[in-house]
Structure 1
């Protein structure tokens, strides 16, 4: 067997072997010598300027005998890496040959002068068919001629006809094993662009991020947008989707800017898979697909057919299974299915393979190839796994907001004479190299009428989808109801949250009624009585007046503890802290008080001092102090009436009887008062403020985190791309949460007025109206917080900060009259102050909504 092999010029291709020896064992050499007269292989060197590592002209003559001999010689090398690669290559080639055997093949035994290795391989295939070789023999024939050297070249070898192509680098380069689309950039219709971007600039915080970027994506193409994290890929996609606006430049999709009704982007014209999973964990796969199909206006019949197709196409789990219970790989496929449910003409995927295992990554790319070929879907995919984009028609490399180059993967590999795209990216990062490269393929190609090589006919399934969607109009009301229904399902599935939101206001009002407003009782008071327990007058037993006074003290409010000395009673208040005050009577209290009454203006200072009851109090607790003060004053009035009545019965003095009313208080509080009770309850004062505060801040809590969480998980962005408007999202949240507020208000009214019997003098309808309006205001304020805050922590802090501020200055726990004038003016601008005043007037005064011409 005669074998000739020439070396590649060393300067033509960095990283490629300069010599390509053909290995053979001694036995194989002897056997090959016997058939060398009929079979020989000539291998020519590659031109240095091609830098592809693949011969442009490889004459090959072969027969079944040569294949068998080569097969015997290859057995000694099957344990090596090259051997295993050759075996896999032969198996794949055999499979493709059987699939295309019925195709018309050229029978050309002499393939000398063919212009490409691809044509040479077709000649080999024709020879093999004529020789009636088996699959294994056929694989070895190819291996003998091109396999041993091809594994070391990153070439543009392709086998098969039509759309089915296989890269030779699959045999050992470590690249993906599925079918490649690289090298087909010329087959795209560059006269019809799906996405066209010209001189687009975008800035974050006055800092340039995307600078004069040009980009062209033809229809039915897989366009790989590659680059490291943070280079601007996601920002560019958001510009295409119309989620953000460029500072300058133009973006057109199907010849129209994003947001135009002509291209329905955002809307049914695009399918978007964000970088995050962006899945509703509480609903099933079936419910999620139906939710998005309703947003797109798809009919029920079409929705069911698409669900069945996607479940089979993407190998999805059971459609009735909750998304939250699926594995990470299943969730990735579910996220992809949500972007495909309406069969969009444009599919945008933001790093769909990030965090996935190689098997799942391979399956996702297989799905994308099928979509591009069979569904005529234009696909823009971003990834920072640069090497996986070899199967794209076109790739563009981004760095620091700039597009370095836009071309086919194979062209870039050949141009830079490297074996992987990562090396291409590194070379493109060199400004000297990138300066001589054409940035955009669209600007350098020759536009020709024959450029349209891809069929413009849509698949029937896609045409049917577009027609049925166009016949169905999706009104804003329908989208709001669809969003509300989805949110309701999520809330019903989250039973702990639903229970918490429903009963928490009730728990708050129960705790308030049990702990707030009840008068303090059993207050410990120390007593020292310096008088004898009794004394005798004219042989009669008379009780001392000090004892009479103590009997008038309300024993439910005050618990008297007697001490043996003045000092011990005082120390019980000062040091032990067991009592809130000490009552001390002088030893001459009764006689001094008698002299004080009899002598009146002639009473001595000693009589006045001895008849005075001393109280040493702990006045640190205002509520207890006021309670003790009122209890002792009431005891004094009762003591005076009883003492005077006893004195009149003993002396029967008419003059004193006439002067008895002189000892009445100067101010008399009329009973009943105009409003309220003569004995007011602090709970009655606070109840309206507590009701308003609980409803308001529970409503704030219902919505404050809604948009924050959805934005963080990518759900908000996915909904906006599906065609929802922000006001529709807000309206759906208010509609659902208002139902929760109604339920909260109902339970609140029941426990407030029926269980704890908080007094109400007004119309219950007015009370419910005020409470519901306050809840609606709380939801709106929560949505404002959710829109402004970027994360959960800031939203929670904003909610808590506003709660304490409003609670303190809105008159819930203290009258507005106790505030400084300037702060009182500010309090009227808070959302609770006027509502609390209104509810308090309705409940305690019985006022209507309109009172004295004031609303």
Structure 2
């Protein structure tokens, strides 16, 4: 026997109805076996179990005398054509054939011979045509050709002739009959067309997960006293309807003992060896991914354009000091203080006590820093703020310059009138806290500079008007901007999320896997012998190239264009960014293996990106987070320690031997290993 199925039982839920109920089936070598039954009777599930896509809950499947113990074990022994088209539309017909030829470890010359034969036999369009440009019937013919490309000893075809021209259908049946007779090919066909099954050597009728009858068509007609197979099948189904309902799972398990199927001596045949060339399978995955990405503009957009947009947007919007903010100015009779009189062409006086006026203070600001709005009264300035015309205002007291001179002369002996008269009243719209804080810091800095200029002109040491605090930087610079703190974290978060998402269908490896599963591509690859390990190794190679390319884009823009500080070794920076990108890739794989829907996969990754952006210390120190939540962020988010380590490399110059950097590397590697382990567990669960 080519195939023996003994007492197999299959259910999809622990307490659900049986999909396959104690089913037995025998297919001889060189036999065309027709599997007939209505939709939902279990035909596709049975075929999936035979080719290795699903595990049976009980029973045995023996292929060419060898007990099938694991999924995907048929590989090159079987040509599998599923109900779905299950072909990657971005590839050409030739590339599809070459991909499966590589998986089946075929020689290039043999692949070319089979391409020429199948193209002629199935009347395929030009082999350089894109699959997505074909009609539905043409796609089914290509799908059938893929199942036959390696000339397997067993063909398992699920609804192969649906939607095909009657003449082509006739031609296909003639060819199947020929190879079964002359080359001893075993063929199992699932079909809805009852009249087609008359061409089969043996017919099996399925209903409710059981095989009602298994015999040659002539015997079935004779036993049912019918003139047509349609009439005979109708009678058999009616008889089954009158029988008792299917036994429940618990009763079935307790009342039966499953026997190991044994082959009779006259059925014995030498077992055929399964051949899986791991190198060729991985190479096939790499080549397919390469074709996929070079042809689809969305990949280029995701890999190159999106990183550029993100970096330019971030650097343009976040960090730079706002320019042209409208600030009111109340001089209270100190003269015309509009910018027309305080132009950049007027030099500051170097004479003692002659550089204490309002214009001397305003001259310290760049022309585009503020747009000064001269106002006559306190009420007008308040009205402008309330109307949204200005963000705040500065009010100088009457005779401000004179009071400043007296305060410099009298110093600690100044009276209250002098002190109050030399003050500058600043009132702001504090609802815009970030902008208000920036303006406060700028005004304080300029005021200190204003005072220093005044005392230096009088030969007074400017240290006397400075705060008695002297700040120095151990790492970084005292005058560094807030954006220098954010940039390393942003780079790691962007790389991690882009690798998790943008191999997908805008496009990330994670979402691509989900897309392949929803379109049947994953199952077809799996039946051909492509395991999860092949996918991981092949995708790791292509994603490494993409990750290094994105790292180059990030470093070129951040460092080359926007001047991001890199104090540590550039080799360490690139190495860490690469490891982080691969942890993002593995993270995307993990999510994709657990969720089947594309939308769910994208939403989960995006929600994860939002959480990590706020909680990983990218833009705000994790020390400000409450202790309990901080521990969750540190140990449950993959990027928290990575962001801290990368920032330490960039801003502190720490090497790979520093504990903080080591912790970042370990975190990334642990997430890679953990994600891959979860991938294998999820993959195992999906094929049960």
TM-score (norm: length of structure 1): 0.67
Match of 1:235 in 2: 45
Which residues of 2 match residues 111-510 of structure 1 at below 5 A? 193-206=1-14, 207=16, 208-259=18-69, 265-431=73-239, 474-498=276-300, 500-510=302-312
Selected match of 1:810 from 611, 616, 636: 616
Query: Would you say 1:622 and 2:433 are equivalent positions?
Result: yes
Q: CA RMSD in A?
A: 3.2
For 1:711-739, what per-residue CA distance to the aligned partner results, in whole angstroms no more than 9, with x for missing partners?
22222112222222221122111111211
Q: In the alignment, is residue 565 of structure 1 matched against residue 398 of structure 2?
A: no
Q: What is the aligned counterpart of 1:691 among 466, 474, 491? A: 491
Select which of 640, 643, 648 maps to 1:836. Answer: 643
Q: What CA distance in whole angstroms lies between the structure 1 residues aligned with 2:396 and 2:113?
A: 96
For residues 114 and 402 of structure 2, the distance between their equivalents in structure 1, rounded to whole angstroms, comes to 104
Q: Is the 8 A contact 2:408 2:455 kept in 1?
A: no
Contact 1:404-1:434 within 8 A present in 2 as well = no
Cα distance, 1:543 vs. partner?
Answer: 8.1
Is the contact between residue 199 and residue 249 of structure 1 (CA under 8 Å) also seen in structure 2? yes
Distance in 2 between residues matched to 1:817 and 1:556, nearest whole Å? 36
User: In 2, are the aligned partners of 1:286 and 1:320 still within 8 Å (CA)?
Assistant: yes
Shift in Å at residue 273 of structure 1?
A: 0.7
Q: CA deviation at 1:767?
A: 0.9
Give the structure 2 partner of residue 739 of structure 1.
545
Whether the 8 Å CA contact 2:51–2:527 is kept in 1: the answer is yes
Distance 1:486 1:532 in 2: 77
Which deviates further from its counterpart, 352-361 or 340-349? 352-361
Alpha-carbon deviation of 1:661? 5.5
Q: Deviations over 1:423-474 (max 9, x none)?
A: 43333333467759xxxxxxxxxxxx9999xxx999xxxx9xx9xx99xx75
1:287/1:550 CA distance change after superposition, 3 Å: closer
- Given that 2:397 and 2:421 are in contact with CA atoms closer than 8 Å, whether structure 1 keeps it comes out as yes
Alignment partners' CA distance in 1, 2:90 and 2:358: 74
Rg comparison, structure with higher value = 1
Asked if the contact 2:60–2:68 (Cα under 8 Å) also holds between the matched residues in 1, the reply is no
**Cα deviation digits, residues 326-368 of structure 1 (max 9, x gap):** 3322222221121112222211011122344544444433332
CA distance in 2 between counterparts of 1:477 and 1:563 reads 78
Q: Distance in 2 between matches of 1:421 and 1:390?
A: 8
- Distance (whole Å) between structure 2 residues aligned to residue 304 and residue 543 of structure 1: 89
Contact 1:227 1:386 in 2 (8 A): no
Q: Is the 8 A contact 1:553 1:631 kept in 2?
A: no
- The structure 1 residue matched to 2:467, chosen from 650, 661, 665, is 665
Distance 1:319 1:354 in 2: 22
Deviation at 1:603, TM superposition (A): 6.0
Secondary structure of 1:204's counterpart equals coil
- The residue correspondences of 1:711-730 to structure 2 (distance < 5 A) are 711-730=517-536
Supply the distance in 2 between the matched residues of 1:326 and 1:806 (Cα, whole angstroms). Answer: 43
Deviation at 1:612, TM superposition (A): 3.0
> Which deviates the most, 290-299 or 207-216?
290-299
1-side partners of 2:598 and 2:70: how far apart? 34
Offset of residue 373 of structure 1: 2.3
Contact 1:503 1:744 in 2 (8 A): no
- Give the direction of change, closer, same or farther, for the CA distance of 1:510–1:549 in structure 2 (3 Å limit): closer
Q: 2: CA distance between counterparts of 1:450 and 1:565?
A: 112
Q: What are the superposed Cα offsets for residues 677-721 of structure 1, whole Å, 9 maximum, x if unpaired?
A: 232223322221122122212211211122212222222112222
Which structure has more relative contact order (CA 8 Å, sep 6+)? It is 2
C-alpha separation in 1, matches of 2:594 and 2:401 = 73
Q: Which residue pairs with 1:790 in the alignment?
A: 596
Does structure 1 conserve the Cα–Cα contact (< 8 Å) formed by 2:5 and 2:26? yes
Given that 2:105 and 2:280 are in contact with CA atoms closer than 8 Å, whether structure 1 keeps it comes out as no
Give the match's secondary structure for 1:404: strand
Please state whether the residue corresponding to 1:733 is helix, strand or coil: helix
Equivalence map 1:47-58=2 (5 Å): none
Are the counterparts in 1 of residues 9 and 22 from structure 2 also a CA contact under 8 Å?
Answer: yes
Q: How many residues align?
A: 618
Q: Cα–Cα, structure 1 residues 627 and 478, in superposed 2: closer, same or farther, change >3 Å?
A: same
Aligned-pair CA distance for 1:581: 0.8
SS at structure 1 position matched to 2:2: strand
- Would you say the 8 A contact 2:654–2:661 is kept in 1? no
User: Offset at 1:545?
Assistant: 4.1
1:672-683 map, 5 Å:
673-683=473-483
CA distance in 2, matches of 1:769, 1:372: 57
Cα pair 2:102 2:283 within 8 Å, conserved: no
Show the counterpart of 1:706.
512
> Unmatched 5+ residue regions in structure 2?
245-263, 337-352, 504-508, 663-688
Q: Tell whether the 8 Å contact from 1:526 to 1:561 is kept in structure 2 after alignment.
A: yes
How far residue 772 of structure 1 moved from its aligned partner, in angstroms, is 0.9
- Describe the shift of the 1:596–1:486 C-alpha distance in structure 2 as closer, same or farther (beyond 3 A): closer
Deviation, 1:500, is 4.0
CA offsets, 1:150-171, max 9 Å, x none? xxxxxxxxxxxxxxxxxxxxxx
Q: Give the corresponding residue for 1:21.
A: none
TM superposition score normalised by structure 2: 0.82
Q: Secondary structure at the match of 1:797?
A: helix
Q: Would the alpha carbon gap of residues 196 and 228 (structure 1) be closer, same or farther in structure 2, given more than 3 Å must change? A: same
